[in-house]
Structures are given as C-alpha cells and as structure tokens.
Amino acid sequence: MSGTANRGGTGHARVVHVITMLEWGGAQENTLYSVEHLDPGRYDRVLVAGKGGMLDGRAHRIADLRVILLDDLVREVRPACDAKAWVALRSILREEKRAAGGDPLVVHTHSSKAGILGRAAARAAGADAVVHSIHGFGFHDGQSKPAHTLFVGLERMASRWTDAFVAVSEENIRTGERAGIFSRERCHLIRSGFDTAKFLAGTRESGRKILGIPEGVPVVGTVAVFKPQKAPLDFVETARRVSAEIPGTRFVMVGDGELQIATERAVGRAGLSDRFSFLGWSSEVPDLMAAFDVFLLTSRWEGLPKVVPQALIAGCPVVATAVDGTREIVDPGVDGVLAAPGDVGALARGVADILSGRLRLDAARKRVRLLREFDQDEMVRAQDRLYAGILAGKGFPGWS
C-alpha cells in the first residue's frame, strides 16, 4: 500500500515504532499492521519492543522491517530495568538518527511504559517528530491515589516532548484533557483498525462446528487477554449467575495470560468445568463470534476494545462494562447492554435477558458504519497523513 499524504512529493523519513511487548492484543496487532503497510518507498521502518511477546516471530517475518527486541523493556514497573531500557532506547534512537542521514526521524510510541521511556529517549536522541498512541492510560479508577498521581505526572511530563497524540476513542481524548496532559487540538482520533471483511464473512455454522456445540445450545463467549484489566474472574462470576437461571448455557473464553490458572480454578470452584471451553488464542475468532449468542466483555478499563465492533460486525449482541471507548460503540437496548465495571449482577441480567428472549437486539444495525470506521488501511493512511503534516509544519522538504 502506498502513502497518500504526499502524492507527487519526494519526502522520505525513518519511523521508529516503540511498544512495550508484542503480546496478543489490539495495540500490538495495530502496530505490526502499521509498520508492515506504511509505504516502504516513503519510510524506512524500525520496530523496538520488549523481548518475549507472542508476536515476536510475526514481527521478524515483515519484509524490510528492522526489529530490535530489548530484555529490559518490560510491562511491570521495575526501576532498574526501566533505567536500562531508557539507556538502550536512547542509544538505538541516536543510531537511527545517524543512519537516517538528512531524512527526518519520526518516533511513534505506544501505550504507557513504552510511551514514557520512548518519548524521553526520543527527546535525548534529537528525534525530529514524536507521536504517541494512547491505547488506554496507565492511570485509571481503582488505583491508589499516589499511584494515580504518579502516572498522571509522568504523562504530563512526557507530553512536553510530544508533537501529536493519537487516541482510539473520544473518551481517551476527554480523559487526557481532564488530566491536563494535552489540549484537544493536539490529539487525533484514529480508530484501532482490523480486517473487517473477516468478521463479515464468519459463519455461525462453522463456529458451532469448531466449538462442537449444536445449534440451540446458548453460548456466551469472550476474546481477551487474561489479565487484571480484562477482569476474567468477573466473567466467571457472571457465568455462574447466568447458569443458575439458564442451566444449559455454555461459556467460551478465547485467549490466555497471567490469570488463566486463577480463572480455571474459579470455574472449578463454581462447578462449571463442564460448561466452559478455554481455547487459547485462535485464528478462527470471526467464526467463533458468529457462533456466540452473546459476546461478554468484563473489562475494568479500556482504550477502545476492537473485539466489541468485531462482535457487532459478526452479528453478535454485546454485554460489556461501560468503560471508555466501549460506550462509543454499544447502544444500550439497541445492540447491547452496558453495566458499571465490576457489576456482575447487571452483566448477568443483561446476558440472561438476551438469551431468554426478554430483550431483543439488532446487533448488525450499525454494521456499515463500523466497516468503514474500523478499516485497517484507513488507519495506516491516517497515520501517514499525521506524520506528513508534522514534518511539513517543521519545514522538511517534500512533505505536504
């Protein structure tokens, strides 16, 4: 795919994307798609990430992409590792600045940890343009006040080294404004794109065959990393309550992560082991979503989970927590149900109302809009336009 921001121009740049870990998730998939599809005629592309993610191998298979994996770039807050990661990032970006010659160096960071360390390193290395993508903030409700204050302060500091922000949801933009991190004009809404055609093509028959569950048996499913943000134990408790009302219901969890063992134990304690399927990560998610009767997402906070528009495109109604960007996609009573984070009672009522037929929804009502809004190639084009605008504004020749 070629860039569109500079038709007929001669601008060329080196762009370095920095992300904490290439684990399975929306931010990671979007970053890989972006670095793969940015026009190689306009951009020399580099990806820096923490070592050990599930998608490391996929990154290495992208043609003409320079991939650098760092041992010390880890998701957890570890001061010693974080200091080493910053030194390594500064060294890498200085080298990329030299290698770029007369071309500008663009550094594009993702998420909280890589966003703070990467932007500090970009400033020290003399990067010509710095962009940061917000996939949800590192601060959120439920944190202790000292932790919340620390993360907000770090984001405000890093904001001074940032030319432009990218947000996947309007709610993240409002949160950044309220926290004093940026003004509205500095932040650009670029949705978290995906291959929308795959979710339009998924079939219920194929999904039910994969699951080995016959038609007529109600199925509630999710696709998520098993980590505190996604609250998988809330999914289990919701399932326990739904099963008490609709005993034949089956539950499917696609994904894995640090809380998988705890989740499986919770299922056993609830006496639901014969009702649950743990599939790990699967390439057959479009068919699985088409086979679900309800898509359930129990996140405590989000940026904008693209599994929600994916489910709606697949024709599956959504029951989810009313967090951040999810509220921009689900219309309660029309194509889904929203509940407060942690309110498993309300989540269970929503699921049971849909399965019992007490609540009839039209999940595909906004399908045409979602197909357009979450197109992954438009996501890349929008990033290209953003880079070009920043570089043109700084007087680099060939950018417009």
Supply the CATH number for residue 313's domain.
Answer: 3.40.50.2000
Shared-domain flag, residues 243 and 147: no
Q: Where are the alpha helices (DSSP H) in the chain?
A: 26-37, 56-60, 79-99, 112-125, 145-159, 170-178, 196-201, 204-211, 232-245, 260-269, 285-291, 307-313, 326-329, 344-356, 367-373, 376-393
320: which 2 tokens? 């989810």
338: which 2 tokens? 């929203």
Residue 146 domain-assigned (yes or no): yes
Residue 275 domain-assigned (yes or no): yes
pLDDT of res. 1: 34
Shared-domain flag, residues 182 and 212: no
pLDDT of res. 8: 38
Residue 8 domain-assigned (yes or no): no
Shared-domain flag, residues 222 and 348: yes
Residue 400 domain-assigned (yes or no): no
Of 260, 304, 305, 312, nearest to 286 by C-alpha is: 312
Shared-domain flag, residues 383 and 258: no
Shared-domain flag, residues 379 and 342: no
Residue 79 belongs to domain spanning: 13-193+375-393
Give the phi and the psi of residue 94 in degrees, each rounded to 5: -65, -40
pLDDT of res. 139: 82
Of 258, 315, 249, nearest to 287 by C-alpha is: 315
171: which 2 tokens? 């709610």
Whose tokens are 């990154």? That residue is: 59
Residue 3 domain-assigned (yes or no): no
Shared-domain flag, residues 206 and 131: no
Residues linked to residue 165 through DSSP beta bridges, in sequence order: 132, 187
The helix (H) or strand (E) run that includes residue 20 is strand 13-21
Residue 381 domain-assigned (yes or no): yes
pLDDT of res. 26: 83
Shared-domain flag, residues 133 and 204: no
Shared-domain flag, residues 204 and 319: yes
pLDDT of res. 138: 80
Shared-domain flag, residues 233 and 348: yes
Edge to edge, what strands does the sheet with 219-223 contain?
A: 276-280, 250-254, 219-223, 294-297, 318-321, 336-339
CA atoms within 13 A on the CB side of 358: 8
Shared-domain flag, residues 139 and 263: no
Shared-domain flag, residues 102 and 243: no
pLDDT by 10s per residue, the chain, length 400: 333 333 334 689 999 999 999 988 888 999 999 999 999 999 999 999 999 998 999 999 999 999 999 999 998 888 999 999 999 999 999 999 999 999 999 999 998 899 999 999 999 999 999 999 998 788 877 788 898 899 999 999 999 999 999 999 999 999 999 999 999 999 999 999 999 999 999 999 999 999 999 999 999 999 999 999 999 999 999 999 999 999 999 999 999 999 999 999 999 999 999 999 999 999 999 999 999 999 999 999 888 899 999 999 999 999 999 998 899 999 999 999 999 999 999 999 999 999 999 999 999 999 999 999 999 999 999 999 999 999 999 999 999 7
Edge to edge, what strands does the sheet with 164-167 contain?
A: 66-70, 43-50, 13-21, 105-110, 129-134, 164-167, 187-189
Of 110, 89, 82, 123, nearest to 19 by C-alpha is: 110
Residue 229 domain-assigned (yes or no): yes
* Count of domains observed in the chain: 2
Shared-domain flag, residues 116 and 208: no
Residue 26 domain-assigned (yes or no): yes
